[in-house]
Each structure stands twice: as C-alpha cells, then as structure tokens.
Chain A
C-alpha cells in the first residue's frame, strides 16, 4: 500500500514538473513564463527532498527559484511581452528540431537504461562515505564540496565573481523604484533580521546537517534584496572599498588556506583532519560573504555611483580614440 502511494506521488511529481517546464517554454507571455519557471523551481526543490537531497532542496529553493526568479522578474520589463518562435518563419525547421530532440531523448533513455544496469556505479560513493569521518565535517555533501572536491568549489566562486564583474562593467545600478507600501516596510523590519539569522544558522549547521555556504549566502542576499525593495535608500552610502573586499574575500581566504596547507602538507587544500572542521568553517564564512555580495549586486543590476575610481593611472601615449 505504502509502495503504491509512493509511486503515485513520484509519478505525479514527474508529470507536474514536465508540464510546468513545457508550459513555461511554450507560453507567449513572458510574465507567465517566468512565474511558471519559479513554480518549476519549487517543484524541483520538492523532488530533491524526495530523492534524499536536502542540501539541494534548500539550494534550489533559495538560489534556483528565489534568486533566479528575482533576477528574471526584474528583467521582464526590458523585453517585449510577445515571443518570437522560429516556426513563424519555417515550420520545416520546427519539425526538424522536434524530430532531432525526440530522437536524442530516445537515445539518452536507452543509454541511461543500460547505464543503470551496469554495476560499477557505487564504488566511488563507498570511498567517499568511508573518508567522511576524517574530513572535519559529518555532512557528506559538505565534505565533498569543501574537502574532497574543494578545488571545484574554488573555481565555482571564480565563476560567480566573473559573472558579477560583468554585471558591474555593463550597467549602472537600476533606478530606484518607488518606496514600498507601509505593510511591506513593516514586515521587512522583522523579516530581514530573521533571514540574516537563518543565513547564519545555515552556515553553521552545514557541517553536520543540510546547509552550507551557498545556501547561507543566497539567503543573506535575499535579505538584502528585500531591504532594497522595501526601502530603496537603505543600501546607499555603503563603503565601496568594503564592497570590493567583500566580493573577493571568499576566493582570497580559500586560496590563502590552500597555500598554507600546501606549505604544511605538500598538497594544495590538503587539510589536517584535526584542523579541517575549523578551516572549512572559515572558508565557508568568507565564501558566504562573497556570494551574498555578488548575488545582491547582480540583482541590483550594476555598479553603484562612485564605483570606479576617477583618478587611475593614465597612459602616456595618446591615441586616436578607442577603436571599436
């Protein structure tokens, strides 16, 4: 009986997620598309929880649905509300694309079906689980993310930084919207501190329960975004040098710890089991700050006034002007 209920639950989730994806990709109205996409993110979070991936469920909810959703919503007004589908030009092309995609789906299904029957699958996970006790944390996902495969996480922080640098390079901060209603402002007064505390909690608890730097950073960013939405002038006047330092501190601490460990243990990011827990916490703390700053700036849309220094070193040669 329980089995049957679970199966119904699973099949419903799968149908729901596929329907939401199809609807989001086919609708003509951008507002509806983005809303469906956010709903898709939340259903995905439920699926992650169902598949015993609570860290991912948290991350999907706050980053995948939350931050992505906020970014997309604020971008809608930049676009016309009707879509452009290639099929308006040629339905032959549309049939070809449909056919190709369908073929690819069938091939991939065949491959996965074969793959699931191949039994070498679980060797790595056994290796991982056996080493978790010496990794300094007891949450296996955090162990993989910040110890075994910490280098990937380092590069991932670099990806975030690159994206935020681009946003800062291209645009100015979005013009402030009108101040929000008193209701929102009142709510924000207790919601923002709550979010900040939750972020701190997620950071701390990530060592032995679902959570971690990324979820905490995104939650902190959500708090800042909420602050910005309800009271637009609250984030002005923030010291810009501090802002720059906050952006880079995650990677910086990560690299410094790595180099320090390299001098002690001969390999980059090789943590002593005794120190591993504390080192990971330090790295995660710095990373949380950087991620929060980056995501907030990405949402705000660009560089605040005064971001760039006005007296950098001038070149000595005069040219005919910037080539295009």
Chain B
C-alpha cells in the first residue's frame, strides 16, 4: 500500500513518455495520468492520516545506502494540493492551446513537471532533492519558453541561469554535509547535525540556494517576467507550486535537520526579507499594467508572508503553540496555491477572449465573462485574506502567534500587505465592472472557466470552513521528522 508513493511519481512519468510517442492522444493520456496520480495522492493522505508517515525504501536497501521516499503530514498535504491544482490546470490546458503543434509539445513537458513536483515532495534523500530540483527547474523553464516570443525566451534564459546558480549553491551545501556527516538520508541527518562550523556553512549555502528558487526578496527579480510571459496554465503551476516546493524544502531543512544549527538571528533575517517582499511585492502589483504581471508580483508578496512565519515558529517551543503556527503556514501556502492558480487560469481566459490582459482596458469584461470575473473576485478574497478564506485563518493565527512570541512588529506589515492587496484586487474589479466593449461576445459558463472556478472555491470556502480538519491532521501526525 505504500506503493502509492511510487505510483504518484511513475504514472505521470509513463504518461510523459507515452505522450511523446502518441502525440495524437496526448491530451487524453495527460488527463488520465493526472487523475490516476490524484487518486494516488488522496490514498497517500488517507494512509498518513490513519497510520502516520509512509515510507518506501527504494530497492529494499536500508536508509542511507538506498534512497527513501517518505510521505508525512506536511508533504502529503502539499502533494494533494499540487495534484488538485495540476488536474484543474490540465483540464484548462486542453482548451488553452489553439495550435495543435504547441499542444503536442506542451504535454510531455507538463507531465514531466508533475513528476518533478511529486518526486520532490516525496523525497527523503538530500542528493535526490537536488536532482528533483533540477528536473523541476528545467521543465519549468522549458514550459515557460513555449510561448515562443522574445519576452518569454528572455525570461526563460534568465530563469534558467538563476535556477542553475541556485541549484549549484545548494549542491555545495550537500557536498559539505556529506563531507562532514557521511550520509544523505534526511531522517539520519535530523539526528546527527549539530551546530558545528561545517553544518553552519552548509546550512547557509543550502538556504541561499533555496532562497533563489523561492524568489524571496531580493532574489525575486527573475520571477515576474517568467510567470507573466509563460502560457497561462504554466504560470498557474509556477506560482502556485514550483516556488512553493522550494519553500517546503527550506522549511524541512530548517525545522527538521538544522534545528540546532540555526539561530534566532537567521530567522529574523529571513522574516525581515519576507516583510520587505510583502510590501514591495504588493506595491508593485498595484502598479502593474497587466493582469499576469500583477499576479506574479502578488506571488512575490505572498511568499513573503510564508517567510514571516519562520522567526515566529523558531521562537515558539515545540508543542501545540508551534504546531498551530506551523499549520497556519501550511494553510496560507495551500490557500495561495489554489487562489493564485485560479487567478492565472482566469487571466488566461480573459487573454483568450480579449486578446490581451491589460488591466486598464478590461472595461466591459464583467458583462462578457461574468463567471471569470466572479472567480477573480473569489480568488481575490483569498489573496487579501478575508473570511471565510483559508488565508484569513492563516493570517489571524500569524498575528496571534507573533503576539505570543513578542514579535509584534510583523503585524503592521501584515496589515499594510492586506490593504495593498485589497487595493490591487479592487483595481481589477473596478475596471472589469466599468464600461467598455473589450470583448466580442458574451461567454456564459464556458467549460474552460470551470477549472478556475473549482480552484477558487477551494481557496475561499472549503479551506476556510474545513481548516479544523487540517489542524487536527497536523497535530496528530506531527509534520516533523523527529527530534
């Protein structure tokens, strides 16, 4: 039964190979692979809920000698979110590409992206994490370049160069860890690593590499152009998932492995950078002229929120209070994943119908694409953090935990960020509900809008109302690998 961990990686991989051979049926292959993988991920979450972390020892070799795949509360929830977003974006992608050649090129790479995401989340080995990071980076760049225009290619080249640099810096950290501790297994390392000079330097290097990949200010400069010029389903995956899993690895390393190595100062540093990201990203989003560019800057801001959690989680003692803060982090990450992907898919619909995504010229869109604008409003609610969305609960808990630890200075940042988010969401809605004749015909309940709708409902309603289950899940099966 722990084979579900393997299936969730292998099924998309086989799908990718088959879609290269039989490109006529590629859409069908992609949809079925993703649905099967989604089923596998649901099975994984159910099993973790029932009996704790799932382990699969590849090759039947013991941990350390071979590679371990591991699903615990944190990674299984992220896996489920990832497969839900991917499935929705897959359905959308079947109608997005009008050029059949482009569609045939898209599917193998898209499925490879899924393989990379799932393999990364399930990985329990440090070098394996590096390989999955590389696969993720390369497939993301390949998908970005599919737009095949000058802006997209320039963004893709920059994304690739920065991404490679980040991976190499991460790899140096891995090399240092192996030098000192002689093992690559995450569980083993979580017990061995102390606060010695080598581990500290390795910790710094790996964090630096991951910060590049998660686009934390000031290393975020590659993100806006890449996410804005990629095809819409790709942008959804990039913002919602690709940057998220880099943050996941960072959290995994900080809390599980380097918990004795890190200092409150390092937490403060990242928290401060996160705070700057929130304000700067939201401000840039407000000024953006295009929908997708606004969404990309909003991602920079939302990632900032996740980093603000770090100094707070570090300052809290192990136990229910830390679990609460951690669950709030998870909740915010997941809510953003759903909301941002819904936003990007809607932006894609608007772009298909208006021929552009310039915000100032969106007049009349509310009449022509009512469902899409409704979806944007719903995801906007989640991005701002209004009730009943999951991010409202997340932010509330963040404020409460920061007061608990005496780090009240984050609160004004959160407030400003939320106000700016309100401003930029309403800016879009204002233009959309304004007068204008930007679209030719009215679209009522077009089937390509459904995936985005599903995602937005998840973000705003289901996660908010159902978050108690999440709290339960995380505290029951603590996400941490063990002290």
Contact = CB atoms under 8 A, between A and B. Distances in A.
Direct A–B contact in complex, judged by CB atoms less than 8 Å apart? yes
B59 A269 contact: yes
Tell which of B131, B181, B183 has the most Cβ of chain A within 10 Å: B131
A183 interface: no
Contacts of A320: 352-353, 355, 440
Nearest to B115: A158
Interface in B42-63: 56-61
Contacts of B330: none
Interface string A236-273: 00000100110110011001001100100111111100
A165 B24 CA distance: 17
Interface stretch (B13-21, B74-82, B240-248): B13-21
Contact of B97 (A162, A262, A322): A322
B199 to A, nearest CB: 9
Contacts of B141: 166
A169 interface: yes
Contacts of B448: 317
Interface residues of B, number: 82
A312 B352 contact: no
B180 interface: yes
B23 interface: yes
Interface string A296-317: 0000000000001101111101
Nearest to A271: B59
A162 B197 CA distance: 38
B134 interface: yes
A122 interface: yes
B351 interface: yes
A91 interface: no
A262 B9 CA distance: 14
B434 interface: no
A75 interface: no
Contacts of A124: 64-65, 182-184
A121 interface: yes
B59 A267 contact: yes
A121 B179 contact: yes
B315 interface: no
Interface string A135-173: 000000000000111111001101101110110111000
Contacts of A108: 172, 176, 201, 205
Interface stretch (A36-44, A111-119, A201-209): A111-119
Nearest to A313: B24
A269 B60 CA distance: 8
B112 interface: yes
B180 A248 contact: no
B182 A122 contact: yes
Interface string B427-448: 0000000000000100000001
Contacts of B142: 162-163, 165-166, 169
Q: Is the interface of B mostly helix, strand, loop or mixed?
A: helix
Contact of B56 (A116, A121, A170, A268): A268
A53 B102 CA distance: 44
B348 to A, nearest CB: 7
B404 interface: no
Contact of A270 (B25, B59, B205): B59
A78 B349 CA distance: 37
A200 to B, nearest CB: 25
B60 A266 contact: yes
B128 A155 contact: yes
Contacts of A324: 147, 149, 229
Given A251-B13, A270-B59, A312 B135 contact: no
A265 B27 CA distance: 34
Interface in B119-160: 119, 127-128, 131-132, 134-135, 138-139, 141-142, 145-149
Contact of B13 (A158, A271, A323): A158
Given A118-B196, A148-B61, A323 B134 contact: no
Nearest to B21: A244
A255 B10 CA distance: 7
A270 B357 CA distance: 51
B109 A248 contact: no
Interface of B: 3, 6, 10, 13-14, 16-17, 20-21, 23-25, 27, 56-61, 64-67, 94-95, 97-105, 108-109, 112, 115-116, 119, 127-128, 131-132, 134-135, 138-139, 141-142, 145-149, 172, 176, 179-184, 192, 196-198, 200-202, 205, 229, 231-232, 348, 351-353, 355, 357, 440, 448
Given A158-B135, A159-B135, 19 more contacts: A110-B201, A111-B198, A118-B196, A124-B183, A128-B65, A148-B59, A159-B134, A162-B109, A165-B20, A165-B142, A166-B109, A255-B14, A258-B10, A309-B104, A312-B23, A313-B100, A315-B95, A317-B448, A322-B99
| Minimum-distance CB pairs A-B, first 5 | A111-B201, A270-B60, A115-B198, A115-B180, A323-B351
18 contacts: A108-B205, A111-B201, A114-B197, A118-B180, A120-B181, A121-B181, A128-B65, A131-B61, A148-B61, A155-B128, A156-B131, A159-B131, A159-B138, A161-B16, A262-B3, A268-B58, A315-B100, A321-B98
